[in-house]
Amino acid sequence: MQEDEKKPRKVLLIACGALAREILAIREQKGLENLHVTCLPAKLHNRPALIPARVRAKIRAAKSCYDKIFVLYGDCGTGGMLDVVLREEGVERIGGPHCYAFFAGQERFERMMESDPTRFFLTDYLARHFRTLIYEGYGLDRHPHLRDLLFGNYRGVVYLAQTESEELVRAAERAAEMLELPLEVMRTDYGELAPFLERIA
């Protein structure tokens, strides 16, 4: 019995696929071996209404296999429905409306939005996949006039950089050029993500 009590609990993290690289990097750096990770496709962000049901299905499939389950999603455009599901399932998620907030730090992000709400944000993942997810995903490659319709109210792009990478800075520059907006690069590291993973593990 005492040996069982000393065993680390099995913890499952259900996460957005856009965060997989960062989660695995933190897990390795911090030695969080008991933290298991499963991801939903990042492209669900283009259809956020599907996120709550997909997360619920993951939770129910895993409940009998893990001591604790946590979710690494912001609200991500679900209009509060993800939190309804998590309350019903008794599962906690990281705080914040989206990954921009917990990478930048929620208080810092709120100040940024109060000072200028007209900026479009990139993370490492979005900088890396901007053309596929945003430019082609929203059809801007086929219908360039949609740029003004979708992004006409933005006045700049802020790249929240989790890592030091000249390649990703160049990718962010290309994304800003596609949107015809100026770019600001802001180094955030992993923000509130690393402390959250350390706590739940």
Structure confidence by residue, pLDDT tens digits, 69-113:
999 999 999 999 999 999 999 999 999 999 999 999 999 999 999
CA distance 13 to 15: 6
Express each pLDDT in 123-160 by its tens digit: 999 999 999 999 998 999 999 999 999 999 999 999 99
Non-local (6+) Cβ contacts of 54 within 8 A are 40, 44
Confidence of residue 9 (pLDDT cuts 50, 70, 90): confident
Residue ranges of the domains in the chain?
Answer: 2-98+191-200, 101-187
Reference 55, options 30, 18, 91, 26; nearest CA is 91
Which letter, b or e, does each residue of 171-192 get, where b requires 16 or more Cβ atoms within 10 Å of its Cβ?
bbeebbebbebebebeebebbb
Fold for the domain defined by 2-98+191-200 = Rossmann fold (3.40.50)
Reference 99, options 201, 172, 199, 196; nearest CA is 196
Task: Kindly state the helix (H) or strand (E) to which residue 158 belongs, with its residue range.
Answer: strand 156-161
**pTM exceeding 0.85:** yes
